[in-house]
Amino acid sequence: MHTRRDWLRSSIGLGGFLLAPELVLSSEERKKFNPRPLSNFVKLSSNENPYGPSEAVQKAVIKAFKNGCRYPYSYSDALAIKLAKKHNVEPENIIITGGSTEGLKITGLTFTQGGGEIIAGKPTFLAMMDFAQQWGAKINWVPVGKDKGYDLNAINEQINKNTKLIFLCNPNNPTGTVIPKNSLKDFCVSASKKAIVFSDEAYYDFIQTPNYPSMDSLVRDGKNVIVSKTFSKIYGLAGFRIGYLIAPSHLSKKIRKNVVAMTNVLAIAAAGKALEDQEFYNFSLNKIRDGREMITSTLDKLGLNYIPSNTNFIFFHSGKKIDVLGEQMLRLGVKIGRPFPPFYDWCRISVGTLEEVKIFTNALENVYNFS
């Protein structure tokens, strides 16, 4: 009888499941782009980028160790200047945070504590809403549409005098959908006249629609719009905990008062170098695309429906309760995503390294063909 270790080894090539040569990384690529090492337990549940920090970023972090005795404020200001140039805003419009999650939480706290309302799609990323509720906020949930995307008409109908924030996770986590670009700006302009629109763009870099707009353009126009960005996804820096908000001055001044964690000098050095490392950015984007295609090809083969993804994960209709599928996959060494109510028979799977994806697809075929 095979052990799990034996099964894992066979699933990546030692037992006939070979990766195509063009999908195997060279020693130079491994050095420069730092794929996470393969282990007996493949974790594909947290939407982490399996690549990075890049070699260039690692060198920048090591160099920054000499600044570890200093507070991060001046270094953060320098990064804000670099980010302001990237987004064509003023440095005062940039707020550096401990991951974009801190940005979401302090924005919710700033504008809704004591009973203010947040309108949010369901399901979506919950950090803002969960934290704001602890401070007295009310959440007005609007179910996603049949396509699992935001129902902008339904959201618009729910805006009322108590609405302080409208939260758009775009692309949406966990569904992977993106708001049609022809509708997005018009909605944000209109809605921002009634409440603050928060555009969480953590997965923006993975959007497949050409020339898709960031809502930072509305920040430049002084609208009541806030944009959040992160270095956790495309840049592979989730463990460093660094992100930022882009907000017009009349809003950034209020939010800045509630920054708690900020970040640290090593994370700032990592982020600054990551912005310059276009080679890693392109590599990361291409490898995530390759892994995504491997997953959807397997789903097609098994006849499992899925939502076309604009992220580094896939949301597919498992047809099984997610806790049941989770246990089956775990026995084969793969950890999948948690339940996302009300879609208890849908699964969110992160794109790992191509070796990890191969283990996942083999495990999935094992579960559906032999269970």
* Pairing verdict, β 117-122 and 138-143: parallel
Cβ neighbourhood burial of 19 (10 Å; 0-12, 13-18, 19+): middle
Residues 108 and 203 in one domain: yes
Amino acid at site 107 = T
Residues 285 and 362 in one domain: yes
State whether residue 203 is helix, strand or coil. coil
Report pLDDT for 1: 37
Which range marks the domain in which residue 87 is found?
66-276
Identify the DSSP state of 338.
P
Residues 208 and 258 in one domain: yes
Amino acid at site 62 = I
Residues 258 and 204 in one domain: yes
Residues 138 and 287 in one domain: no
Which residues, at least 6 apart from 298, have a Cβ–Cβ distance to it below 8 Å?
Answer: 361, 364, 365
CATH number of 284's domain:
3.90.1150.10
Q: Distance between CA atoms of 207 and 233, rounded to whole angstroms?
A: 13
Cβ neighbourhood burial of 67 (10 Å; 0-12, 13-18, 19+): middle
Residues 151 and 270 in one domain: yes
Domain closes at, from 217, 249, 276: 276
Residues 50 and 133 in one domain: no
Alpha-carbon distances of 234 from 96, 124, 176, 211, 275, rounded to whole Å: 17, 20, 15, 18, 11
Amino acid at site 27 = S
Report pLDDT for 9: 47
Alpha-carbon distances of 119 from 114, 136, 159, 322, 339, rounded to whole Å: 16, 14, 8, 27, 21
Q: Distance between CA atoms of 182 and 164, rounded to whole angstroms?
A: 25
Identify the DSSP state of 340.
B
Residues 200 and 149 in one domain: yes
In a domain, 59, yes or no: no
| Residue whose C-alpha is closest to residue 288's, from 364, 184, 176, 210 | 176
Residues 159 and 284 in one domain: no
pTM of the model as a whole: 0.93
* Pairing verdict, β 346-350 and 313-317: antiparallel
In a domain, 36, yes or no: yes
| Total domains present in the chain | 2
Cβ neighbourhood burial of 213 (10 Å; 0-12, 13-18, 19+): middle
Q: Enumerate residue ranges in the chain where pLDDT < 70.
A: 1-22, 371
Residues 148 and 233 in one domain: yes
Paired tokens of 180: 């049609």
